Structure 1
Amino acid sequence: MRIAQVPPLYEAVPPRLYGGTERVVSHLTDALVQLGHDVTLFASADARTKAKLVTVRDQAIRLDPAVLKSDLAAHMSMLSEVRRRADDFDVIHFHTDMVHFPFFEDVASKTITTLHGRLDLKDLAGVYERWPQYPLVSISDDQRRPLASASWAGTVHHGMTADIYEFSATPKGYLAFLGRISPEKRPDRAIAIAKSLGKTLKIAAKVDAADLRYFHDKIEPLILGDPLIEFVGEIGDAHKSEFLGGADALLFPIDWPEPFGLVMIEAMACGTPVVAFACGSVPEVIEHGVTGFIVRTDGEAVDAARQAANLDRREVRRQFELKYSATAMARRYLNLYARLGAPLSQAFAVAATA
């Protein structure tokens, strides 16, 4: 099958540091190639991929040192190139929200659009009502709730390449928080849980410009001078196995409708249980008492973090390999491509439904 993958241009594919969507696209693209498909990735020049790369920008936008830059112009140029080559593909898989909708109406039936963000925002419903011909994919069933009547083709949970995450049978006695410093991610809650237990908390997190004030006003005062709390900063894939694998548990104390939560399966890949609050996709991703604990209060979270060491870390890793590998994700997408009419050999059709 001839497949185009079209990610956003904010991060490299895969990202050098923090980044979710582009990381998923990277793992999906490589898995599709390994399954024997002809895949073309439209991305910035700093992409690393097994697919054919069509370069549409010199580097990813976020870490580009240029002071003045236009993310809209960059994405418009990319979409123009995809449009020019549209006849070369059986499926065009977009990960760019809705920005491509006005330009691909005549070939909408050969496209699929995975929505990676929250969908409870003003104006979104009108867009999906205006362009119902585009088949949409959710990354969790919970993500769909604000747009239940949209043109959903299916739900595909994220997957990751297992080889880049090392299993750790023996943790080093600390708790971990990985992701982004923002009010909805609740790093303050993670800090409170660790302090209640008297355990070290290591925070590896990105701080966006929009969240700097929150970080300085709310989080720094909880960190400074406390020997239990270690702020590591933003890390990339090369350091995740050590960081996550060394933790007794990953704390995922979110306070918003998380569409998926990639860090949960990254922790599972290292054998590390997850203590997660029951918001958004969490009940779909975490199997309570097996891969972690689903909690609703700070008190429950403290108790769960205390019990995390009793879980079987090998079973946590096994569940990741069974449900959240990149190959499992790619096969689920192949099944969707085939249902939308893309040519798929009988052998691949069987693999896609496995």
Structure 2
Amino acid sequence: MRIAQVASLYEPVPPPRYGGTERIISYLTEELVSQGHEVSLFASGDSKTSARLISIIPRALWEDVTPCANPSMYHILLLEEVIKHKEEFDIIHFHTDFFHFPIFRRMNVPHLTTPHGRMDFPEYIRFFSNFNDMPLSSISYSQKKPLPLARWIGTVHHGLPLSLYQLNENPSDYIVFLGRISPEKGVDDALQIARKAGVKLKIAARVGLGDDAYFEKLLPEFKKENIEYLGEITDKEKNELLGGALALVFPVCWPEPFGLSMIESMACGTPVIAYPCGSIPEVVDHGITGWIVKDVDEAVGALRQIHKIDRKKCRQRFEMRFSARKMAESYLTLYRKLIAGHSQ
């Protein structure tokens, strides 16, 4: 199959550190190539891929030292490049926002859009009332619930290469918070959980865009005893950090679209303690890959019985549910469905 994957230009594919969407695009692209498909990746020029790379800028916008006053101009150029090549593909898979909708609605080309963020904003109802013919795939069942009027053709959970992380059956004595320093991600609750449980907490996270004041407010807490702030880390460092942890704490308070760090943790055999927001109940198998809890006190209680989670079974459940191969095969099913419908 001839497949185009279209990424935004803000981060390279894959990103050097934080950037869940771009990492998933990379894992999907590489898996499709390994299965023998002819894949083209539209992304920034500093992306690394075994697919054909088509770029319109040499460096990702957030990696470039030269300020960009209007990033939308580069994304319009990106769209123009996709249109130039459109006849070369059996299907075009967009992982960008929705700026291509007015044009691709009028294009005689099979295409799919996967939004990677939350979909519960009020303006989305009006938008998708207009564009309810555009095919979408969700990354969780929870993500699509606020927009039943949109044309959802399937749900594909994220997946990771099985070789990316290794099982560690002998953890150390700390818990981990991994991801982004933002109010909705719940790092303040993670600090409370660690303090009440009397355990060490390691925080590996990037400060969210516009969340500098929130970070500054929490900074004194990060400097207290038994708290270690690591900033952003690489996949190699993540493997060691997650594998050595008693648990990943994921106390989010927003409609989490997926939560990639949860399956990264499971891949290391490390259970997850998470609040039941958004996708969490469909990602975490309660009592098998972790515990779903309601608040800080329940999280502390779950941590005290974390030894009941079999880390080997945690890894096995990850392999069964969240591999890159499973993800790619699920997307291929959607591609074939769209191509078949287009030819009728």
Q: TM-score of the superposition, structure 1-length normalised?
A: 0.94
Matched residue, 1:191: 191
1:166 and 2:160 aligned: no
The Cα offsets for residues 166-223 of structure 1, whole Å up to 9 and x where unpaired, read as 2211111100000000000010000100011111000000013400101112x11322
Matched residue, 2:201: 201
Matched residue, 2:311: 313
1:262 and 2:269 aligned: no
Measured in 2, the distance between the counterparts of 1:277 and 1:108 equals 43
Question: Alpha carbons of 1:66 and 1:18: their partners in 2 closer, same or farther (altered >3 Å)?
Answer: same
The residue type paired with residue 337 of structure 2 is R
* 1:108 shift after superposition: 6.3
Measured in 2, the distance between the counterparts of 1:308 and 1:73 equals 50
* 1:61 shift after superposition: 1.5
Measured in 2, the distance between the counterparts of 1:154 and 1:97 equals 18
Measured in 2, the distance between the counterparts of 1:47 and 1:199 equals 39
The residue type paired with residue 246 of structure 1 is G
* 1:341 shift after superposition: 2.2
Q: Residue 232 of structure 2 is aligned with which of 216, 234, 245?
A: 234
RMSD: 1.3
Matched residue, 2:25: 25
Measured in 2, the distance between the counterparts of 1:10 and 1:172 equals 36
The residue type paired with residue 250 of structure 1 is L
* 1:127 shift after superposition: 1.9
The residue type paired with residue 85 of structure 2 is R
Measured in 2, the distance between the counterparts of 1:43 and 1:262 equals 21
The Cα offsets for residues 100-156 of structure 1, whole Å up to 9 and x where unpaired, read as 112212236600000110011132222222222211001111111211111010110
1:334 counterpart SS class: helix
After the TM superposition, which parts of structure 1 deviate over 4 Å for at least 4 consecutive aligned residues? none
Matched residue, 2:326: 328
Q: Is the 8 A contact 1:110 1:342 kept in 2?
A: no
Question: Alpha carbons of 1:108 and 1:298: their partners in 2 closer, same or farther (altered >3 Å)?
Answer: farther
The residue type paired with residue 243 of structure 2 is G
The residue type paired with residue 61 of structure 1 is L
Size of the aligned set, in residue pairs, is 341
Deviates most, 48-57 or 103-112: 103-112
* 1:97 shift after superposition: 2.2
Q: Is the 8 A contact 1:12 1:60 kept in 2?
A: yes
Q: Is the 8 A contact 2:131 2:150 kept in 1?
A: no
Matched residue, 1:300: 298
Q: Is the 8 A contact 1:109 1:135 kept in 2?
A: no
Deviates most, 177-186 or 126-135: 126-135
* 1:47 shift after superposition: 1.0
Runs of at least 5 residues in structure 1 that lack an aligned partner in the other structure: 344-354
Measured in 2, the distance between the counterparts of 1:2 and 1:335 equals 14
Question: Alpha carbons of 1:339 and 1:205: their partners in 2 closer, same or farther (altered >3 Å)?
Answer: same
Q: Is the 8 A contact 1:177 1:202 kept in 2?
A: yes
Q: Is the 8 A contact 1:181 1:206 kept in 2?
A: yes
Q: TM-score of the superposition, structure 2-length normalised?
A: 0.96
Matched residue, 1:350: none
1:222 counterpart SS class: helix
Matched residue, 1:60: 60
Matched residue, 2:222: 223
* 1:29 shift after superposition: 0.5
The residue type paired with residue 151 of structure 1 is R
